[in-house]
Chains A and B, each alone.
Chain A
Amino acid sequence: MNKVRFGHSAIPYLFLLPQMLIVAVFFYLPAGEAVRSSFYLEDPFGFGSTFVGLDNYRDVLSNAEYRRVAIFTLWFTVLVAFFALAIALVLAVKADAVLRGAKTYRTLLMWVYAIAPPVAGLLGIMLFDQHVGPIVKLAALFGWDLRVGVNYHDTAFAMIVTAVWLQIAVNFIFFLSGLQSIPRSVREAARIDCRSGFRRFWTVTFPLLTPTAFFLVVINITYALFDTFGLIDLMTKNEPGNNPVTLVYKVFLDGFRGNDLGGSSAQSVILMVVVFVLTIVQFRFIERRVHYS
């Protein structure tokens, strides 16, 4: 890359300023505020706050409910990321192999991506509706009385299915473009070197897809952890009582339904740390095994 030297040392910072301002106003300021209020006990009616040190953290971490939500979040994230990636990869590989009408086929698969996420989420929820949802009816055919929003496991199932469904289109687009960026001749060389298509996929195609896959793993974990908020809100119908929620949703519940701003702040600080650690782990350990050609 070319290095540009500026005569005056302030100019580069000036260029950075707008971006830094945005980051400061929308990230550092609220994050700092969260850290601050995690050390205070807020009066529920907003009449003042008391410094309580690490009490909020102690409360959160010793809370059995918090642990239960954390474990569910872990499962939820792993399952959503895994299925969203796996199904998208299968679809992308199949779409890539289609010779006739390839464009139509691909467009149909990407369709979901063009729908605004809340709308798509609503559609997903309609599929699980107690009265008109086709999936509920299908489940009934097999003798499964699917009760989303009432039964804990049924809700978890519906949440995971819908979350996966929403994310497949994005993953599909990235996997497909990743597949198509593999030089044709490399794949042809592999066809000459290896008879089995299955083996060829795992020894040549997939290793060359790992940069894409790595990027998508990061995106999908972030998605499952944070971007499923609206979906959970719709699925639990604002009645989280006996329903599964993720850690992010619990931050909202405790802060704005339970009016425990201090405890909720402590939870979000914990989440921040988790994300921070996760990012480091991903880049340190996974990237090392990725081949960037």
Chain B
Amino acid sequence: MAQVHIDRVSKIYSGTQRAVNDISIVIPDGEFVVLVGPSGCGKSTLLRMVAGLERITEGTISIDGRVVNALEPAERDIAMVFQNYALYPHMKVYDNMAYGLRNRGMPKAEIDQRVREAAKTLELERLLERRPRELSGGQRQRVAMGRAIVRSPKVFLFDEPLSNLDAKLRGQMRVEIRKLQRRFGVTSIYVTHDQVEAMTLADTLVVMNNGVAEQVGSPLDVYKRPASTFVAGFIGAPAMNLIDADVSDDGSAATVGGAVIAPLEHSAILEPGHAVTLGIRPEHLRRAGANEKAEIELVVSAIEILGADTLAHGQIGAGGPGKSNLIARLPGTTRLEVGSKLPLAIDRSAIHLFDRETGRRIVSDKASQTEVTPRARLAAV
């Protein structure tokens, strides 16, 4: 159990290509950090650098105050769970778990005790004499977990451990991994591209894109206050609607093609004509009541009825310069017809505003500073 300090770490391939670019994160002892992002964003590379499977080009990584850059993976006191489990196919389940301990020269009795204890925790007791090929995907996953647990490492590393399982099992294992991590209180770094996993598992979420940490924060914070249009589009399903807009002449509203589509509360810091991107989550759009003013009108192009709610896909500002695709999440099974016009009202407080040029969030006032700060944070650079 230990603090992990990632300090200005970069991974540079063939001289120029930066897979991971100057990332700094401090992970406090016992915290569960999830690295999430699209494939190729560098999240796995970062994890593998912590594991020691990938050389660190720049910066330092410390585990429990000790710089591990030059240490072999086996010397770092970490345990890793791989996407395809990476069990030793020629060893029985028992030996798969005991292998790492034997190599450390641990006494037989202690190895046996640890393996049996882990097997009990993971309900693997009846499978100890089997070989990996005789196990189901879920069981293999458990063995991989067991192999990590018996080592009682300082850090758990998970590299998309659930992506080879079917949806139902994935849900179960997700809960189980969280329980185990809480129980052992081991600092954990978990890589995934699945935002449900990311949201449910993380104490702290690190959203990565193009080798950069776009945002570090608690899952809810990231969801409620995405730091950039990338994060806004990545976290949440269906994705947040992003609409290009301009600030009106008096600074009080966002306009698309001259028509006001949303009022703004950011007037203090925005000049008229400023190019912005409006972010509105589908769930923050609702059907305007009969005697309510509809802010926007959606021309419905497709309807997805999910049971609990209904997704209306469509366009706003059709024909005009501000044509934009939009999704609205409506409660229940709303009856809609393709081609019909749907008047929508916007929850004013739920509008996110981004600078169109930089893609960064425009912070309006002190309100956002008062929120709970996550324990892990971007280290002061």
B81-100: which have CB < 8 Å to A? Answer: 82-84, 86-90, 99-100
Q: Are A193 and B100 in contact (CB under 8 A)?
A: yes
Between B51, B74, B84, B87, the greatest number of chain A beta carbons within 10 A of the residue's beta carbon is seen for: B74
Closest B-chain residue to A190, C-beta based?
B88
A192, B83: Cβ atoms closer than 8 Å: no
Select one of B78, B82, B86, B133 contacting A293, CB under 8 A.
Answer: B133
B90, A192: Cβ atoms under 8 Å? no
Interface segment, A147-155, A201-209, A236-244, A251-259? A201-209
Q: Indicate with 1 or 0, residue by residue over A204-239, a CB within 8 angstroms of chain B CB atoms.
A: 100110100000000000000000000000000000
Inter-chain contact B72/A191, CB cutoff 8 Å: yes
| Given A186-B86, A291-B90, A195:B103 Cβ within 8 A | yes
Flag whether B292 is at the interface (Cβ < 8 A): no
Q: A186-B87, A192-B80 are in contact. List 15 more A-B contacts (CB 8 A).
A: A186-B88, A188-B80, A188-B86, A190-B88, A191-B52, A191-B73, A191-B74, A192-B51, A192-B52, A192-B74, A192-B78, A194-B74, A194-B100, A293-B89, A293-B132
Asked if A199 is at the interface of the complex by the 8 Å CB criterion, the answer is yes
**Chain B, residue nearest A195 (CB):** B74
Tell whether, in the assembled complex, residue B86 and residue A208 are in contact, meaning their CB atoms are under 8 Å apart: no
Give chain A's interface residue range (CB within 8 Å of chain B).
Answer: 20 to 34
Contact of A185 among B72, B86, B99, B132 (CB under 8 A): B86
In the complex the two chains form, what is the Cα distance from A196 to B86 in whole Å? 19
Partner of B89, one of A195, A203, A208: A208
Give the CA-CA distance A195 to B103 in the complex, in Å. 8
Taking a contact as CB atoms under 8 Å apart, the answer to whether B103 and A199 are in contact is yes
Nearest residue, chain A, Cβ from B148: A192
Known: A185-B82, A191-B53, A192-B80. A291 touches B89 (CB 8 A): yes
Of residues 41 through 78 on chain B, the ones whose CB sits less than 8 Å from some CB of chain A are: 51-53, 72-75, 78
* B-side interface mostly: mixed
**23 A-B residue pairings within 8 Å (CB atoms):** A183-B84, A183-B86, A185-B82, A185-B86, A186-B87, A188-B53, A188-B73, A188-B82, A188-B86, A189-B86, A189-B87, A190-B88, A191-B52, A191-B74, A193-B100, A194-B99, A194-B103, A195-B72, A195-B74, A199-B103, A208-B89, A291-B89, A293-B132
B264 interface hit (Cβ, 8 Å): no
Q: Which residues of B contact A193 (CB under 8 A)?
A: 74, 99-100, 103, 147
Among A186, A192, A293, contact of B73 (Cβ-Cβ < 8 Å): A192
The residues of A with any CB-CB pair to B shorter than 8 Å are 183, 185-186, 188-196, 199, 203-204, 207-208, 210, 291, 293
Q: Is there contact, CB below 8 Å, between A195 and B75?
A: yes
Min CB distance B365 to A, Å, is 48
* Contact yes or no, A204 B74, CB < 8 A: no
Contact, CB under 8 Å: B90 / A207:
yes
B79 on the interface (CB 8 Å rule)?
Answer: yes
Given A194-B74, A195-B72, A203-B99, verify A189-B89 contact (CB < 8 Å). Answer: no
- How far apart are A184's CB and chain B's nearest CB, in angstroms? 9
A194: nearest residue on chain B (CB-CB)? B103
Q: Tell me the nearest residue of chain B to A187, going by C-beta.
A: B86
A206 to B380, CA, bound (A): 47
CA distance A210 to B51 in the complex (A): 29
Docked complex Cα distance between A189 and B88 (Å): 9
Closest 7 CB pairs of A and B: A193-B100, A293-B89, A185-B86, A195-B74, A291-B90, A189-B86, A194-B103
Q: Which residue of A lies closest to B83 (CB)?
A: A185
Task: State the CA gap A190–B84 with chains docked (Å).
Answer: 14
**Which residues from chain A contact B147 at a C-beta distance below 8 Å?**
189, 193
| Distance in angstroms between the alpha carbons of A188 and B159 in the assembled complex | 12
Chain A residues contacting B53 (CB-CB under 8 Å) are 188, 191-192
- From B79, which residue of chain A is reached at the shortest CB distance? A192
Q: How far is the CA of A207 from the CA of B90 in the complex (A)?
A: 7
Q: Is the CB of B84 within 8 A of A196?
A: no
User: Shortest Cβ distance from A209 into chain B, in angstroms?
Assistant: 10
User: Residues of A contacting B100 with CB < 8 Å?
Assistant: 192-194
Contacts of A203 in B (CB 8 A): 99
Nearest CB in chain B to that of A203: its residue: B99
Return A125 CB to nearest CB of chain B, in Å. Answer: 42
Nearest-CB distance from B167 to chain A (Å)? 23
Docked pose: A188 CA to B79 CA in angstroms: 11
Bound form: Cα–Cα A27–B92 in Å: 44
